[in-house]
Amino acid sequence: MELAPALQLREVSKRYGARWALVRLSLTLERGAALLLTGHNGSGKTTLLRVLSTAVRPSSGRVEVLGIDAARDPQGVRAEVGLLSHANFVYEDLSGLENLEVLARLLGVRVSAAPGALERVSLSPKDDRPIRTYSAGMRRRLALARLFLKQPAVALLDEPFVELDPDGVSELETRIRELRAAGTTLVLATHHIEQGLQLCTDRLHLEQGRSIAA
Amino acid sequence: MRLPGLVGSTWVLFRKDLLVEWRSRSRVNALVFFSLATLLLFSFALGPDTALLRRNAGGYLWLALLLASVLALGESFRVERENAALEGLRLIPVDARAIFLSKGLANAVLLTALGVLLVPVLVALFDVRVVLSWGRLLTLVGLGCLAIAAPGTLYGAIASHARARDVLLPLLLFPILIPALVAAAKGTTLVFEGDPMDQLPSWISLLGSFDLLYWGLGVVLFPRVVEE
C-alpha cells in the first residue's frame, strides 16, 4: 500500500479579519523531504506553519498530515507534528529540566530522556535556575530540546536560527541534518536562505499568502 | 510514545500548576495579604459592633475568598499566556479537559488553603466560635472553593483572550456564583452560630449540586474555549 505524503494542502486559505494571510495554497511534500519556506515578513510563512501544526484552523481548504485530516482529527496530527515557533511554550518559574520533565510525562516518554535532550542543545540539566533568568539564545535552545524530546515525524521550524550565536547556529544545522537522517520531514521557514538551501530539498516562496515560483 | 490518558494528564498538570504556584510564592503571599486586608476593612467599615460582626462573619469570609479568587484565577491564566504555554500544551497534544480539571483543582486547593488560613483570623477579629464541628466547616470551605474554581477556570480562560480581561472576569463570574455564595455564606454562619433547625445539610447539598453542574459544564465547554 502506498503511504500518504507527509503534508498535503489543497486550496488552503486563512483570513484574519479583512486580511488574507494565505490564499488558495496547494502543496504536497513527500515523507522525509525538507521544504524551505521563504518570503518577506508578513508573507504568510508563520501562518502556514501554524495551520500545519493545527494551532489555527484554515478558513477554507483541506490539510492532511501523514494522511490524517487535520479538521477531523487535530489531536492525531498534533501527535505527529512538532512546532518550533516564536513562542517557546515554557513556564518561566520552572527550570529547563522541570519544563522538559513535565513535557516528557505528558508525551508518555521516559522522564530520564529529559536531561539528554537538554545536553543535546548544550544546556546543563543541573542548571536549576528558572527560565526567566535565561538569555534569548538559551530559551531558543530549550525550545529545540522540547522538539528533540518529542521526536515528531514532521518538524515545523519557524526562524530557528534567530537569537542563536554562531556556535548555536552551526550546532542547530548539525541537529537538523540528524533529524533529516532519521527520516523526519522538515518545513523550515527562514530569512537565512543560503543556510536553508543547504538543509532543504524543496522550496516554497510566499508573497502575500500566495505561492510564487522561487 | 504513548500519551497518558485523561487522569494521567490531569495529575501531571495539577502537580505542575502547584509547583508553579510554589515557585512564585510572592504571588501567593500577595493573595494572603489581600484577603487579610479585605477582612480588616470589613471590620473597620462596620465599627466595634461585635454582635453584628459575628453575625455576618460567614459572609465576610466568602466575600474575601471571592475577591481573592479573581486575582488567583487571573494570575493562573497569565502564567499560561506567557510564552504561549497553553498553546504548547494543546499541541503536545494534551486533552483540553485535563487542562481544565488540573487548573480548576489547583485553583480550588489554593483557595481552600486560603480559606483555612482565614478562619483563625475571623475568630480573632470578629470573635466567632465554631459551634458545629470543624469537619463541617472544612467541608463547606472545600465545596465552596470548588464552586468558585470551576466557573472561575472556565471564565478565566474566556477572559484571558480579551484585552479588558481584569474587568471581564469578575463581570462574568460574580453573577453566576450568587447561588454558591449564598449557600456557602449561610452554611458557614450556621457553623458559627449553631443550627437548631438542621438547615446545614440543605446548604451543603446546594453547594454540591452547584459543583457537579459547573465542573460538568467546564469539562464539556473548556475544549471549545481553548480551541481557536
What would the pLDDT profile of A14-46 be if each residue is shown by its tens digit? 999 999 999 999 999 999 999 999 999 999 999
Q: Which residues of B touch A (CB under 8 A)?
A: 1-4, 8-9, 12-13, 16, 19-20, 23-24, 79, 82-85, 87-95, 227-228
In the prediction, which pLDDT does A167 show?
87
Residue A185 · residue A6 · CB < 8 Å: yes
Interchain CB contact of A55 with B (< 8 Å): yes
Residue A93 · residue A136 · CB < 8 Å: no
Nearest to B93 among A79, A90, A98 (CB): A79
In the prediction, which pLDDT does A192 show?
87
In the prediction, which pLDDT does B228 show?
61
Residue B46 · residue B173 · CB < 8 Å: no
C-alpha atoms less than 13 angstroms from C-alpha of A153 in its C-beta half-sphere:
17
pLDDT in tens, A150-197: 999 999 999 998 888 888 889 889 989 999 999 999 999 998 888 889
Domain A7-212 class? alpha beta
Nearest to A108 among B3, B79, B91 (CB): B3
Interface test with A, best of B92, B101, B102 (most A CBs within 10 A): B92
pTM greater than the 0.90 cutoff:
yes
Interchain CB contact of A129 with B (< 8 Å): no
Cell 537538523 -> residue: A176
Nearest to B19 among A89, A94, A105 (CB): A94
ipTM score assigned to the predicted complex: 0.92
Q: Tell me which residues of chain A, numbers 66 to 95, contact chain B at a CB-CB cutoff of 8 Å.
A: 74-75, 78-79, 81, 83, 85, 87-94
Handedness of CA B199, B195, B150, B40 (dihedral sign): positive
DSSP B162: S
Cα–Cα distance measured from residue A184 to residue A178, given in angstroms and rounded to the nearest whole number: 9
Q: Enumerate the residues of chain A whose CB falls inside 8 A of the CB of residue B8.
A: 105
Highest mean pLDDT among A57-66, A84-93, A162-171: A57-66
In the prediction, which pLDDT does B14 show?
97
Q: Enumerate the residues of chain A whose CB falls inside 8 A of the CB of residue B85.
A: 89-91
Q: Would you give per-residue pLDDT tens digits along chain B (228 residues)?
A: 677 899 999 999 999 999 999 998 888 899 999 999 999 998 888 877 888 888 889 999 999 999 999 999 988 898 998 889 999 999 999 999 999 999 999 999 999 999 999 999 988 888 888 888 899 999 999 999 999 999 999 999 999 888 888 889 999 999 999 999 999 999 999 999 888 888 999 999 999 999 999 999 999 999 999 886
End-to-end CA distance of chain B: 26
Cα–Cα distance measured from residue A209 to residue A58, given in angstroms and rounded to the nearest whole number: 12
Answer whether A92 sits within 8 Å of B82, measured CB to CB.
yes
Residue B103 · residue B16 · CB < 8 Å: no
Relative to beta strand A185-189, strand A34-39 is parallel
Q: Enumerate the residues of chain A whose CB falls inside 8 A of the CB of residue B90.
A: 55, 78
Answer whether A78 sits within 8 Å of B4, measured CB to CB.
no
In chain B, where are the structural domains located?
6-226
Nearest to B3 among A79, A98, A146 (CB): A79
Relative to beta strand A154-158, strand A185-189 is parallel
In chain A, where are the structural domains located?
7-212
Query: What is the average pLDDT score of chain A?
Result: 93
User: Quick one: closest CA in B to A147, which residue?
Assistant: B92
Interface test with A, best of B91, B94, B95, B103 (most A CBs within 10 A): B91
Give the E-state strand segments of chain A in sequence order: 7-16, 19-29, 34-39, 60-65, 68-69, 81-84, 154-158, 185-189, 202-207, 210-212
Q: How far is CA B219 from CA B18, B64, B134, B165, in A?
A: 20, 27, 31, 22
